[in-house]
Amino acid sequence: MNEDAASLDRLHDIVLPPPVPWWPLAPGWYVLGVVVLLLLLALAFRAWLRRRRTAYRREALRSLHTANDVAEIAMLLRRTALAEFPREEIAVLHGDAWADWLSARSREPMPPLLRGQLTTGAYSADATTNLEALRAWTARWIASHNA
């Protein structure tokens, strides 16, 4: 046997430390968890506010399905506009000015046939000529009008 200090017989296996436990977590993970929780709460609060802010749109779309003539649809458009815009701005509009105002806040322009039907159709004897087209345009306006 070799007695010198560098002998390979005197070497031992490497002793590994115990594995690092997952719990308790480092403080940074707690901070990250709180930040993520606050972000989720903020997103939920914003979604709740948005849902509350657009409740008038859902109610108007429900009422639109029961509207049977042009006068009811015109009244529904006016009520929907009053829910979002100031009364002073809406109350003075009538006729072509009202149709222009609606068209300006819509993503798609109002077709001339529907414009005529909305401005004078409520007073004519043939008020239901193109009611489904007016109802479809009104539904799109309610769902997507912008301020």
Q: Among 91, 86, 140, which Cα is nearest to 111's?
A: 140
Rg (CA), the chain: 34
> Tell me, what's the pLDDT at 77?
94
> How far, in Å, CA of 131 to CA of 73, rounded?
9
Each residue of 16-68: pLDDT tens digit? 999 988 888 899 999 999 999 999 999 999 999 999 999 999 999 999 999 98
> Tell me, what's the pLDDT at 83?
93
Each residue of 116-126: pLDDT tens digit? 888 887 666 65
> Tell me, what's the pLDDT at 131?
86
Domain parsing of the chain, residue ranges: 55-144
The per-residue DSSP string of 39-96 comes to HHHHHHHHHHHHHHHTHHHHHHHHHHTT--SHHHHHHHHHHHHHHHS-HHHHHT--TH
Please check the confidence at residue 6 and state whether its pLDDT lies above 80: no
> Tell me, what's the pLDDT at 117?
87
The confidence band for 85, taking pLDDT boundaries of 50, 70 and 90, is: very high
Please check the confidence at residue 108 and state whether its pLDDT lies above 90: no
Q: How far is CA 81 from the centre of its chain?
A: 18
> Tell me, what's the pLDDT at 62?
95
- The fraction of the chain above a pLDDT of 90, given in percent, is 58
Mean pLDDT score across all residues of the chain = 88
- The fraction of the chain above a pLDDT of 70, given in percent, is 90
